[in-house]
Copies of this chain bind each other. A is one copy, B any other.
Amino acid sequence: MARTAGSHSDITGPRVRKAALALFARHGFAAVSMRQIAGEVGVQAGALYNYTPDKQTLLFDLMRGHMEDLRAARANAPCNGTPPERLEAFTRFHIRFHSERPEEVFIAYMELRNLTPENFAVIETLRRQYEDELETILSDGVASGDFAVSDTKIATLAVIAMLTGVNTWFREGGRLSLDEVERIYWDMVRKTVAA
């Protein structure tokens, strides 16, 4: 049955964020209007401002939430094995986490330039922290003699670029299962940094 006015705040907020996520991912932040988001949610544009102070904050909250989810997920899956074991865990984690959130990942990469400088700095710090986790693995592996890379920073960026590229083509229910994709990429990553 219909609810009275004033009783929807707990569900409208998440719906606003979900609609914004989908629309930003499909059309781009700058190309999406608050009216479009409102239309998707089923309210008038003015009502959105009960849930976000402005459009910029809506974008920033989506991106920050994604980056914090990433860090939280990594923290919940620690791996203390050898460098090759840690690299395999990182590779599989990256592919799985990112393939499960294509819209968030797309926005996190494409909309950086639409953040204010202050908001950009926050996201950039979180992104850098994640990269540093991989670079540490590679450095440790070079020190232990398991890996051979001429430049750990570049190898870090190269591996992340390769892995994130999965999102440009992977679709659930397609030719390959996620398990197969993980195995194929782990095979390539392993060889890329092999001693």
Contacts and interface: CB of A to CB of B under 8 A. Distances in A.
A contacts with B: majority SS: helix
Q: Count identical subunits in the complex.
A: 2
Contact of A158 (B150, B176, B183, B185): B185
A155 B113 CA distance: 30
Interface stretch (A36-44, A116-124, A187-195): A187-195
A128 to B, nearest CB: 12
Contact of A194 (B28, B113, B191): B191
A113 B168 CA distance: 13
A187 to B, nearest CB: 6
A31 B160 CA distance: 28
A184 interface: yes
Given A158-B165, A164-B161, A113 B26 contact: yes
Contacts of A27: 30, 113
A110 interface: yes
A114 interface: yes
Nearest to A26: B113
Given A187-B150, A191-B194, A113 B161 contact: no
A113 B28 contact: yes
A44 to B, nearest CB: 23
What 9 pairs across the A-B complex have the smallest Cβ distances? A161-B165, A30-B30, A30-B31, A162-B162, A192-B192, A158-B162, A188-B192, A191-B191, A150-B184
Interface of A: 26-28, 30-31, 110, 113-114, 149-151, 154-155, 157-162, 164-165, 168-169, 176, 181, 183-185, 187-188, 191-194
